[in-house]
A and B are shown apart, each in its own frame.
Chain A
Amino acid sequence: MSALAPDPRFVSQAPGPGQRSPFLRRLAHASEPWLYSAPALILIVAVMLVPLVLGISYAFRDVRLLNPFSGGYVGLQHFHELARDKAFWGALKNTLWWTGASVFLQFFLGLFLALLLDKPFYGRGIAQALCFLPWAVPSFLSGLNWAWLFNPVVGPLPHWMVSLGLMSQPENILSDPTLAMWGPIIANVWWGIPFFAITLLAALQSIPRDLYEAAAIDGAGGVQRFFSITLPFLAPTIAITVLLRTVWISNFADLIVVMTSGGPANRTQIVASYIFTQAFKKLDFGYASAVALVLLVLLLAYSMLIVLLRQSLLKKG
Chain B
Amino acid sequence: MRRKRLLPTALHRLAILAYIAFALFPLYWLLKVSVTPNDLLYSEGVRLWPSHMTLDHFAFVLKHSDFPRFFQNSLIVSGSTAAIVTALASTSGYALSRFEFRAKYLIVALMLLTQMFPLVMLVAPIFKMLTPLKLTNSLAGLTLVYVAFNVPFATFLMQSFFDGIPKDLEEAAMIDGATRFKAFRQIILPLTLPGIAATLGFVFTAAWSELLFSLMLISGNQSATFPVGLLSFVSKFSVDFGQMMAAGVLALIPACLFFLLIQRYLVQGLTAGAVKG
Contact B241 A153 (CB under 8 A): yes
Contact yes or no, A280 B112, CB < 8 A: no
Interchain CB contact (< 8 A) of B123 among A142, A248, A280: A280
- A276 CB contacts on chain B under 8 angstroms: 120, 123, 212, 216
Query: Is B12's CB under 8 angstroms from A119's CB?
Result: yes
A285 CB within 8 Å of chain B = yes
Q: Which residues of B contact A190 (CB under 8 A)?
A: 22-23, 26
Given contacts A33-B99, A280-B216, contact A52 B121 (CB under 8 A): yes
A202, B148: Cα distance in complex, Å: 28
Contact present for A288 and B123 (CB under 8 Å): yes
Are B42 and A153 closer than 8 Å at their CB atoms?
Answer: yes
The yes or no answer to B195 lying at the interface (CB within 8 A) is no
Q: Are B107 and A292 in contact (CB under 8 A)?
A: no
Contact A133 B24 (CB under 8 A): yes
Task: Classify the interface of chain B: helix, strand, loop or mixed.
Answer: helix
* Contact across chains for A307 and B112 when beta carbons are under 8 A apart: yes
The answer to whether B258 touches A43, judged by C-beta atoms less than 8 angstroms apart, is: no
Nearest Cβ on chain B to A201's Cβ, whole angstroms: 7
Q: Which of A5-13, A154-162, A207-215, A223-231 contacts B (4 or more CB under 8 A)?
A: A154-162
Flag whether A275 is at the interface (Cβ < 8 A): yes
Q: Is the CB of A116 within 8 A of B107?
A: no
Bin chain B's interface residue count. Answer: 35 or more
Contact status A133-B114, CB under 8 Å = no
A139 and B216 contact, Cβ closer than 8 Å, known pairs A47-B126, A51-B129, A133-B23 = no
Interface of A is mostly: helix
Is A296 a contact partner of B117 (Cβ separation < 8 A)?
Answer: yes
Q: Which residues of B contact A134 (CB under 8 A)?
A: 23, 26-27
Residues in B neighbouring A248, C-beta threshold 8 A: 275-277
- Whether A137 and B255, one on each chain, are in contact in the complex, defined by CB atoms closer than 8 angstroms, is yes
The answer to whether B101 and A133 touch across the interface, beta carbons within 8 angstroms, is: no
Given contacts A37-B95, A136-B256, A154-B33, is CB(A55)–CB(B122) below 8 Å? yes
B147: shortest Cβ distance to chain A, in Å? 6
Bound-state CA distance A46–B155 (Å) is 17
Q: Does B178 contact A (CB under 8 A)?
A: no
Does B251 sit at the interface, judged by CB under 8 A? yes
Residues A257 and B212 in contact in the complex (CB < 8 Å), given A159-B45, A202-B270: yes
Contact A58 B124 (CB under 8 A): yes
| A to B contact number (C-beta, < 8 Å) | 266
Residues in A with CB closer than 8 Å to B118 are 251, 272, 275, 292, 295-296, 299
Q: Which of B124, B128, B267 touches A198 (beta carbons < 8 Å)?
A: B267
Most buried by B among A30, A43, A117, A160: A43
In Å, the complex CA distance between A100 and B45 comes to 35
The docked-state distance in angstroms from the alpha carbon of A172 to that of B215 is: 26
Complex Cα distance, B274 from A203, in Å, reads: 12
Task: Scan residues 11-67 of chain B and give those whose CB is less than 8 A from a CB of chain A.
Answer: 12-13, 15-16, 19-20, 22-24, 26-27, 29-30, 33, 41-42, 45-46
Name the 6 nearest CB pairs between A and B, nearest first: A136-B259, A47-B148, A138-B209, A36-B95, A33-B99, A285-B124
B residues whose Cβ falls under 8 Å from a Cβ of A: 12-13, 15-16, 19-20, 22-24, 26-27, 29-30, 33, 41-42, 45-46, 88-89, 91-92, 94-96, 99, 101, 104, 107, 109-114, 116-129, 144-145, 147-149, 151-152, 155, 180, 205, 208-209, 211-212, 215-216, 226-227, 230-231, 234, 241, 244-245, 248, 251-252, 255-256, 258-260, 263, 266-268, 270-271, 274-277
Known contacts A139-B209, A190-B23; 15 further A-B pairs (Cβ under 8 A): A33-B101, A39-B92, A50-B129, A52-B117, A52-B125, A116-B12, A130-B24, A136-B259, A141-B230, A142-B26, A144-B248, A145-B30, A198-B266, A202-B271, A292-B120
